[in-house]
């Protein structure tokens, strides 16, 4: 948590994605509204991350 998957953060996330084993690392992505999931899926595709390695969890699951 703390980064978005918007254009402003993609260069930073691309550096991370290029430094890991993209075929093994799992990504957990939090979201506020389900309508944002398609855009997040697109961002992950841009980063070269397979959909099978991503999970989407509502941000409310992390709130106390």
pLDDT in tens, 11-63: 999 999 999 999 999 999 999 999 999 999 999 999 999 999 999 999 998 87
In a domain, 42, yes or no: yes
pLDDT in tens, 48-57: 999 999 999 9
pTM, 2 dp: 0.84
Q: How far is it, in rounded angstroms, from Cα 6 to Cα 17?
A: 15
In a domain, 34, yes or no: yes
Residue ranges making up the domain that contains 57: 10-17+26-62
In a domain, 33, yes or no: yes
In a domain, 3, yes or no: no
Number of domains in the chain: 1
In a domain, 49, yes or no: yes
CB 55 within 8 A of CB 31: no
In a domain, 30, yes or no: yes
């Amino acid at each position: 948590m703390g980064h978005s998957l918007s254009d402003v953060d993609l260069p930073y996330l691309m550096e991370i994605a290029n430094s890991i084993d993209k075929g093994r690392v799992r990504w957990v992505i939090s979201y506020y509204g389900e309508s944002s999931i398609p855009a997040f899926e697109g961002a992950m595709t841009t980063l070269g991350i397979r959909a099978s390695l991503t999970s989407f969890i509502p941000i409310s699951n992390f709130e106390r």
